[in-house]
Amino acid sequence: MKRQGNLMRWQVGDVRITKVVELTSTSIGSFILPQATPAAIAPIPWLGPFVDPRGKLVMSFHSLIVESRGRTIVVDTCIGNDKVRGYPRWNRMQSSFLADFAAAGFDMERVDTVLCTHMHVDHVGWNTRLLDGRWQPTFSAARYLYAKAEWEHWRQQAADDTGPVIEDSVQPIFNAGLADLVPSDFAVNDEVRLEPTPGHTPGHVSVCIASRGEEAVITGDMIHHPCQIARPHWSTSADVDQAWARATRQSFLARYADRPVLVIGTHFAGPTAGRLVRDGDSYRLNV
């Protein structure tokens, strides 16, 4: 990993991955993972970089920009500005995300692909922005790739307490003719492909990267916080199917543990990435 100011970058073979943060928070962890109390976290010392001094979970909301074979791929687009949301801090939020995106060296007009691991509120927000009173694609030159199974699920859902997420952040992409529905194991190119990791949502995917013998995987919300690496049976309140999500997570951990694969957490704060290793009858993240 290379750190430039507040910017984190990883090199995986020829592929460069950059983290651009919208916000970090300790307020949502107790809602998402109510099992993860400070008392329950205390016996897991390696979690220190991912919790605050009181033992509360720190969550990061960020995009990961993958540069591969001349392409600029944005993985997940955070929460977004100006949107009506059920969470007070996110309601009509105003963040510096686009300025930070530019400061990291990226041009919105040069993004050619947007990947959404799933269609929850904090993963599709900057798909669109409010221009002239209308929700318009933020990355107007990009194709937006959605797992077909994910879209088939959410297109039938009404707005919930998080707000009209599909209406303001997904449907306008279809209306603009920029959406592509793809299989859950779709290969973007020979270095970047999707891996189905369902349960959190029916069509949830992670993103696998392989280049010059090196590998990485971007988790999405199959793992929300590193505490679920130590306690894989902790499913979140946001999972559509907790048992399915738990089985997927346990399979993922068993498959990737003790391998030289960089695991990059979509909501992991602090170091954000590391390698999975077995730790007794569970696992830990070595950063």
CATH number at residue 137: 3.60.15.10
pLDDT digits (tens, 9 = 90+) for 96-152: 999 999 999 999 999 999 999 999 999 999 999 999 999 999 999 999 999 999 999
- Model-wide pTM > 0.85: yes
272 falls in which pLDDT band (50, 70, 90)?
very high
What is the model's pLDDT at position 153?
93
Contact criterion met (CB below 8 Å) for 104 and 18: yes
pLDDT above 80: residue 4: no
pLDDT digits (tens, 9 = 90+) for 188-237: 999 999 999 999 999 999 999 999 999 999 999 999 999 999 999 999 99
Rounded Cα distance, 202 and 241, in Å: 8
Domain that holds residue 43: 2-286
What is the rounded average pLDDT for all residues in the chain?
A: 95
Structurally, how many domains does the chain consist of?
1
Question: How buried is 83 (Cβ within 10 angstroms: 0-12 exposed, 13-18 middle, 19+ buried)?
Answer: buried
